[in-house]
């Protein structure tokens, strides 16, 4: 009985702690997979000249799902290098990038259109077929 009371008190305390946390400002992606545009500084305003879109991978060295994204990024470079600019940012070494793109979980993938506006965002590992589906939806 004593153990049950301790478990219930612990669960109540954990629930209260979670409830008291401030809400994170995370943009929700709609059913279409499109999100609202974001403001970007001029130096990161979108794909390099001649490229259609940008694929940003925001992660960290040593993060297992981030490491698993490396072959996916390489495949995108090889298959779509003339149309897609692929960039990796280590958010532990450059936390400003995490703040700039509102990263709350790594890895996070952000796809930018030709105008530099965010078109799609995903958190966690994203397999190559899904990356290609996003790119095809963007006209690549």
Q: Which domain holds residue 132?
A: 27-137
Q: How many domains does one find in the chain?
A: 1
26-60: per-residue pLDDT in tens? 333 333 333 443 343 444 445 555 678 999 999 99
**Residue 112: is it exposed, middle or buried by C-beta count within 10 angstroms (0-12/13-18/19+)?**
buried
Whether residue 102 is predicted with pLDDT greater than 90 in this model: the reply is: yes
Q: Strand pairing of 118-123 and 84-90?
A: unpaired
60-82: per-residue pLDDT in tens? 999 999 999 999 999 999 999 99
22 occurs within a structural domain: no
What is residue 20's predicted lDDT score, i.e. its pLDDT?
A: 40
Q: What is the CATH number of the domain that holds 88?
A: 3.40.30.10
Grade residue 11 by pLDDT with cuts at 50, 70 and 90: low
Q: What is the pTM of this model?
A: 0.65
CA distance 8 to 58: 39
With H, G, I as helix, E, B as strand and everything else as coil, classify residue 27.
coil
31 occurs within a structural domain: yes
């Amino acid at each position: 009985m004593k153990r049950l009371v301790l478990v219930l008190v612990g669960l109540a305390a954990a629930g209260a702690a979670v409830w008291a946390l401030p809400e994170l400002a995370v943009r929700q992606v709609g059913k279409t997979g499109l999100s609202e545009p974001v403001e970007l500084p001029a130096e990161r305003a979108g794909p390099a000249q001649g490229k259609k879109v940008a694929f940003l991978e925001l992660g960290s060295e040593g993060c297992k799902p981030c490491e698993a994204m490396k072959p996916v990024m390489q495949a995108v470079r090889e298959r779509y290098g003339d149309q897609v600019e692929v960039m990796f940012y280590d958010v532990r070494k450059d936390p400003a990038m995490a703040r700039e793109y509102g990263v709350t979980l790594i890895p996070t993938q952000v796809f930018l259109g030709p105008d530099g506006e965010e078109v799609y965002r995903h958190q966690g590992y994203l397999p190559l077929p899904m990356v290609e589906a996003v790119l095809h939806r963007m006209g690549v």
